[in-house]
Amino acid sequence: MKLNSFSKKGIVKFDNLISLNDCKKINQHLFKDRKWGKNLFLNETDFKKQKKFKKINPGMNIQNLANKFNLDCIEKNPTIINYLNKILGKKYKIVLSKFIVSVPKNWMPKYVMDLDKKSPLKNLNKFIKKKYRDVTYFQGLDFHMDSIDRKLHSNKFITLYVYLDKVEENMSPLEILEKSHRFGHDTWPHYIKKNTKNSLYFSLDNKKFYKLKKTTLSGNAGDVFIWTSNTLHGTSKPKNKSRKFRISLRYLIEKRTKKKTIIDKILKDEKIKEILKSH
């Protein structure tokens, strides 16, 4: 059941778990919902008119396109339920589900490009028209642990990620640092040094560095990934010429039982606090 490799690496992949037909239905619904492209962005004048940037991202049952979908093909998939029962126990809870859009370069207005050059943007939602902020938009994302999203909660949760389309090298696929979960929660930005295409160095204290294997998660429609809240991952920027965009589905799923399960064995027991780290 791939439990061993999940425990060891902090990530597991299920090939073609969701049927192509189900992925197609979700995609058709997505494409009917809006015209995906440049038009989603605010122009510079309208962007500057905004005073506050509150609630710019989808929440659980708030401003969330995923709520308009029947996602039983994922949430009631027997293999997924069975696996979650094993790693989180029978009482688990979906605390967030949302669509993620990886934005290609040709959608980006110039003013956003310029801001991104000055300091890389993490999340593009504040540049998006309000009515379209029901999904999260990125263009490349620095290495992070998803535990950063659940401050003051337990780190005993996983991310379940579904590719709805074929994801190629130039579509900003996810990159995972295997075995990084063993270090427990660590504050972003992380101490990471580049090494080769397939490995890099990671440190908790900027002194002692550990070599970690980097795996690129290219994949097909219907592939499902599960990683721990402390597994380091990110995405590279889409290649310059790529006009393809990627919409994927991301769940955060939390352990709710007091009983010890696999997740307790493989993650340090931590409540997620963020201590400011200066680089």
Residue numbers of the site for Fe ion (CB under 5 A)?
A: 146
Taking CB under 6 A as the criterion, the residue among 124, 135, 141, 267 binding ligand AKG is 141
223 binds, among ligand AKG, Fe ion, none (CB under 5 to 8 A by kind): none
Q: How far is CA 103 from CA 86, 116, 248, in A?
A: 35, 13, 12
Helix (H, G, I), strand (E, B) or coil at 109: coil
138 is a site residue for ligand AKG (CB under 6 A): yes
- Range in contact with ligand AKG (rule: CB under 6 A) among 22-30, 49-57, 138-146, 237-245: 138-146
By CB under 6 A, residue 69 contacts ligand AKG: no
**Tokens for 197?**
């295409």
CB of 206 to ligand AKG, least distance (A): 23
At closest approach, how far in Å is the CB of 48 from Fe ion?
29
Cβ-based nearer residue to ligand AKG, 249 or 266:
249
Site string for ligand AKG, 238-277 (x = CB under 6 A): ----------x-x---------------------------
The least CB distance from residue 148 to Fe ion, in Å, is 8
Decide: 101 and 138 in contact? Cβ < 8 Å. yes
| Dihedral over Cα of 220, 226, 229, 232: its sign | negative
Note the residue count of the chain: 279
User: Toward ligand AKG, which CB reaches closer, 129 or 250?
Assistant: 250
Residue 145's Cα: distance from chain center in Å? 9
Which partner from the list Fe ion, ligand AKG, none does 138 bind, CB cut-off 5 to 8 Å by kind? ligand AKG
Whether omega for the bond prior to residue 189 falls within 30 degrees of 0, making it cis, is yes
C-beta nearest to ligand AKG: residue: 100
102 binds ligand AKG (CB under 6 A): yes
b/e per residue, 46-63, with b = 16+ CB within 10 A? ebeeeeeeeebbbeeeeb
CA-based nearest residue to 133, from 234, 54, 69, 70: 54
How many CB atoms sit inside 10 A of residue 227's CB? 27
Q: Quick one: what does residue 178 bind among Fe ion, ligand AKG, none, with the CB cut-off 5 to 8 Å set by partner type? A: none
Instruction: Give the Cα separation of 264 and 147 in Å (integer).
Output: 15
Q: Which does 235 bind (CB under 5 to 8 A by kind): Fe ion, ligand AKG, none?
A: ligand AKG
Please report which residue ranges of the chain form alpha helices under DSSP H.
Answer: 3-9, 20-33, 44-49, 72-75, 78-88, 110-118, 262-266
Residue type, 108: M
- Using CB under 6 A as the binding rule, whether residue 230 contacts ligand AKG is answered as no
**Interface pattern 147-186 for ligand AKG (x via CB under 6 A):** ----------------------------------------
By CB under 6 A, name the binding residues for ligand AKG: 100, 102, 138, 141, 146, 233, 235, 248, 250
